[in-house]
Amino acid sequence: MSASTRVRTTTTVSAPAPERSGPTRIKGNGLAFWLFFTPFLVGLCVFTILPLLWGGALSLFEARGTVLPTKFVGLENFRGFLVDTAFLQSLRTFIIFALFIVPVTMASSLGLAVLINGLPRFQAFYRSVFFLPTACSYVVACVVWRLSLFNGLESGVVNTLLGLVGVDSVAGWLSSSPYWWIVLVSVRLWLQVGFYMLLFLAGLQAIPSQMYEAAAVDGLSPGGFRMFRMITLPQLRTTSAAVLLLQLIAAFQAFDEFYNLTGNNPETRPPLVYLYNIALGPQQDFGTGSAGALVLTAIMIIAGLLQTYLVGFDSSDDGPRRGPLRFLPRRPRRPSSSPAREAQR
Amino acid sequence: MLGRNQFSRRTALGLGGMTLAGAGLAACGGNTGGLTDGGGGGGETLSQWYHQYGEDGTKEAATKYAEGYEDAAVSVNWVTGDYASRLSTALLSGGGVDVFENNTINVDKAEQGRYVELTDLVEPVKDQFNKASLGPVTIGDAIWGIPMLLDPQHFYYRKSLFEKAGIAPPETFDDLVAAATELTTPDQKGLFLGNNFDASCWAMVWAAGGTPMNEARDAVAYNTPGYAEGLGAIQQMIADEVLLTGAPSDWADPAAFGAGLSAITWGGCWALPVLEESLDDIGVFSHPAVGSEGKQVAFMGTWNEQVAGNSEKVDAAKAFAQWLWIDQTDSQTDWALNYGFHIPPLTAVADEAAALKDGNGLEIATMAKEIGVTGPPEWTGEISTPHADAISNVLKNGADPAEELAAAEEASNRAIGS
């Protein structure tokens, strides 16, 4: 019972207590707050904010082998990227990689989530099995992929399997196109599909069963593709948008598998590997590297905003549908549970 | 034991504060991961850095040399992991390094004073060093390091297979292509040039009659007709499936060749002890001449001793570096040949070493002495990227060698001009 409605057991009714607005303040914890908060604040400043500002400053200087440069070059480092064919090639590599990995991961993780969600038992077991690879280090997975699964020898695991079905073995899994894409996409798929599967699974389990029952009453066959298209997909719209954005960012940040599997091959050198070589390789060109990092950050922000605009996280069904998911039917409205409607019942 | 009432919020905060303070103090006391006291004599205390060598006994040997120095106490820091990055950080921040080894001397760092110039130490004994060994440590007229080790790269081959096929060790690249093609069988490829086919391409720059950069260091000089011809020949071998690829380990590790996956391989001198232990018919030959202007060469990697520019004990560090790598020679032979196989850069030391007096050891030492080549320190990442990308496009994507080299030359020269 709130203070404003409390009634004393006397002859007088107390005046309603003034309502407090804003967050509740707990007295006497100021010192505790700062004691726990300060280390994190210092860490944030030292390891995130200061390097960001310093990187921004370095991008305007010629800074080879030093983080205390003296030669101001203005936007020259940025201008260099516009004519740097290797950088443009790295962006093209990212686009190719994203075109492979994003749809495949989306389809695989959603498919697995739907299959596991439909299991009558052992759900937890299968969920764990598919999620376990997420705990594996990218570097370790790359070593296994390179030395065992996709080595070019006849005795390699994949070549052995190909031999069993009568297909010639491939010698240059990592030295010839398009084979290297199979290796790069498969290792990332194995590592991350379980995580996105969990997100979709959470989304699936949030869909009320009454919707499926209502759809079945309307004539949709349970478990059929129309049920999936008309009910499941629209209900997963927000989850799908989040997964799509997370995957795009993850693809943009791809480094480990490219660095460990294909090294410095210009055809498979995404932006982060290219910038790593510039800033932290033998070149140690921190000025150009910082400029490149800012350019990449800007591209990622623009891509994220564009994706949010086109697909959106909003769950409202008002307004026109846009973007790749515009084909989805509108989300069925949930019945309102206002008191007026309750009274009418 | 604290009761429930005693374990108040204040107690918890106190313990938390102590934990944080302890963590802070612990962070202050972290070590660098490989510091061992060398003991040594009196006077200054110097910090000497090495990268982690793979050969057993090298760390103990480095410590032994430090202990043998009488004019200063020297502590050896055996740096594991990414040596180049940690060294760069230390040179930038003054992170407790006085004397260190380095395999890539950087022009910018030299200009910024990260290294101490050692011309006064090396110039008087310049003639005693392998001529090519001074290339990577010389910028203009200044010398920035003392060569410690030379690692020639060359071809290894199976003598028994060559004899059986009636083939002589190749002297031209055409001979090499013919030999590799001849020795290719369903169970064994003829030649291993690394999983990306490009392991020998750097040496081929010289073998085709060019050099990475011209004498004036104001333009690249790798784009030669012979180089394009050589790259075309590798393309042809890829198409003919003469080259091994997809091996579990790359060319620097002799495992693939040792397992009989190829009849010839590109490799480094460091692999000789392992190969001679596992196979009894190993032979070596230098990179053959490529094209009409070509010549036989052996590219050499190097490690060099340097002194840190921000050291507070520059004179003591220089004196120690001079003693270890110029004045006394016992340690140099020990370091180069008792734990692995490398060539000492002082020619007199190399000439006296028992392991270099016959067999493959003599062959490799002769290559280093007579046809050894080394890259210039002016060859920076900016300049090398177009070249490396061109090689990759030629060998992996089948691009035209002449066109790719011309475009790379233009991009590299643009980088030099920037």
Contact B319, B332 (CB under 8 A): no
Q: What is the pLDDT of residue A264?
A: 80
* pLDDT tens column, A257-290: 999 998 888 889 999 999 998 888 777 889 999 9
In sign, the C-alpha dihedral spanning B345, B346, B347, B348 is: negative
Residues of A in contact with B16 (CB under 8 A): 35-36
* pLDDT tens column, B332-360: 999 999 999 999 999 999 999 999 999 99
Position A59, amino acid: S
* pLDDT tens column, A181-199: 999 999 999 999 999 999 9
Q: 3-state DSSP call for residue A305?
A: helix
d(C-alpha B14, C-alpha B9), whole Å: 8
Angle, vertex CA B301, rays to CA B382 and CA B247, nearest 5: 85
d(C-alpha B23, C-alpha B25), whole Å: 5
Subunit contact B196:A85, Cβ cutoff 8 A:
no
Residues of A in contact with B411 (CB under 8 A): 85
A30-39: Cβ within 8 A, 24+ apart: A31/B13, A32/B9, A32/B13, A35/B13, A35/B16, A35/B17, A35/B20, A36/B16, A39/B20
Structure tokens that stand for B207 in this block: 């073998």
Q: What are phi and psi of A26, to 5 degrees?
A: -95, 120
Instruction: Using an 8 Å CB-CB cutoff, list residues of chain B that contact chain A.
Output: 9, 13, 16-17, 20, 84-85, 88, 92, 104, 106, 108-109, 112, 114, 195-197, 241, 244-249, 261, 380-382, 385-386, 388-389, 392-393, 396-397, 411, 418
| Greatest mean pLDDT among A53-67, A85-99, B90-104, B179-193 | B179-193
Is 70 exceeded by the pLDDT of residue A1?
Answer: no
- Distance in angstroms between the alpha carbons of the first and the last residue of chain B: 71
Residues of A in contact with B9 (CB under 8 A): 32
Structure tokens that stand for A236 in this block: 């997963």
Nearest CA in chain B to A288: B382
pLDDT < 70 regions, chain B: 1-43, 95, 418
* pLDDT tens column, B274-314: 999 999 999 999 999 999 999 999 999 999 999 999 999 99
* pLDDT tens column, B40-66: 455 678 999 999 998 899 999 999 999
Q: What is the pTM of this model?
A: 0.79
Nearest CA in chain B to A68: B92
Q: 3-state DSSP call for residue A219?
A: coil
> How far out from the chain centre does Cα B229 lie?
27
Choice among A59-73, A234-248, A327-341, B313-327 with the minimum mean pLDDT: A327-341
Closest C-alpha among B226, B195, B188, B192 to residue B209: B226
> How far out from the chain centre does Cα B364 lie?
16
| Greatest mean pLDDT among A230-234, A245-249, B314-318 | B314-318
